[in-house]
Amino acid sequence: MITTADAHSDSVEGFTVILRKANSLWRRAGVRTADRKALLAELETELNGAHQDGHGVDSVLGEDSDQMLRSWAIERGMCGRALRLALVIPSAFIGIVTGMSVVLLVLLAGFSDWSTAFDPGPFVLPFYASGGLLGYLCALLCVWGVLRCFGDPNALSTVRWLSVLLPIGGVLCTGAGVAVAWSRGFNTSVPVFVTVVGVVVVGLGLTIGLARYLGVNGRNDSETETGRDVVGNDVG
């Protein structure tokens, strides 16, 4: 919580401390960079005005400064609008790769000159299906965990959309990858392998990005307009 101990009313440096803490709180609440700049400019104006009138920080932020700052962002509809794709997309891919690690190794061996003793035989379909399911679940878990760790208020809605779109995107990307391999006569050369992987990665990245966009912009207002939920803390 921001208190008068963080800044002396006659200290510009003290105001900087307050603005830095406010920026951190709003970042955790999912306020976009441009919106944070607008809020910080407004806060700085209010603090300077209070200082000129001889009032302290409490006259602007009240006794519960965190709640006051949170309310500023909520009332303006600025909370939970940051996409944070730099967090969502890598975390989803980490989950996918982790869950499908064995399957990916087998596929890599098939596109290389490696000799492998592993052959799923009649269980080839269950083998690949189980790997895909595990990668799917790990992706959901990783995205949810990372967003909750960073206090994102739309973690749950993002995972809900991802749970719906990721299987669809996975099927489409797999089909596109197979089509590319088929067009090259299922050649196991490195260029073909890189092309197939590139198609799948781009397709999955777009799918994950779309899920995040819908999770942020298509969220239920009741999930993000409560004080504690907006900063990613537990509700209830």
> Do residues 68 and 100 share a domain?
no
Q: Looking at the domain assignment, is residue 196 inside a domain?
A: yes
Q: What is the pLDDT of residue 221?
A: 47
Could you give the CA distance from residue 232 to residue 199 in angstroms, rounded to a whole number? Answer: 34
> Do residues 16 and 95 share a domain?
no
169-201 pLDDT, tens digit per residue, is 999 998 998 898 888 887 767 788 788 889 999
Q: Looking at the domain assignment, is residue 154 inside a domain?
A: yes
Q: Looking at the domain assignment, is residue 153 inside a domain?
A: yes
Q: Looking at the domain assignment, is residue 80 inside a domain?
A: no
Structure tokens at 201: 């990665």
**75, 100, 124: which is the final residue of a domain?**
75
| SS3 category, 189 | coil
How many domains, the chain? Answer: 2
Could you give the CA distance from residue 16 to residue 9 in angstroms, rounded to a whole number? Answer: 11
Cβ–Cβ under 8 Å, residues 84 and 147: yes
> Do residues 66 and 153 share a domain?
no
Q: What is the pLDDT of residue 230?
A: 44
Q: From first to last of its 236 residues, what are the pLDDT tens digits of the chain?
A: 554 444 444 455 667 888 888 888 888 888 888 888 888 888 888 888 877 877 777 778 777 777 788 887 888 878 778 889 999 999 999 999 999 888 877 777 766 655 555 566 666 677 778 888 999 999 999 999 999 988 788 899 999 999 999 999 999 998 998 898 888 887 767 788 788 889 999 999 999 999 999 999 876 444 444 444 444 444 33
> Do residues 70 and 90 share a domain?
no
Cβ–Cβ under 8 Å, residues 88 and 212: yes
> Do residues 108 and 199 share a domain?
yes
> Do residues 38 and 119 share a domain?
no
DSSP assignment string, 176-228: HHHHHHHHTTT--SHHHHHHHHHHHHHHHHHHHHHHHHHHHHT--HHHHSSHH
Cβ–Cβ under 8 Å, residues 2 and 61: yes
- What is the pTM for the complete model shown? 0.70
Distances (CA, A) of 8 to 4, 17, 108, 236: 7, 10, 62, 36
∠ CA 110-113-118, nearest 5°, is: 50
Could you give the CA distance from residue 124 to residue 130 in angstroms, rounded to a whole number? Answer: 10
Structure tokens at 26: 């709003």
Q: Looking at the domain assignment, is residue 176 inside a domain?
A: yes
Q: What is the pLDDT of residue 118?
A: 59
C-alpha 157: how far from chain center: 11
> Do residues 158 and 211 share a domain?
yes
> Do residues 60 and 103 share a domain?
no
> Do residues 146 and 209 share a domain?
yes
Amino acid at 9: S
Domain that holds residue 147: 85-230
> Do residues 89 and 66 share a domain?
no
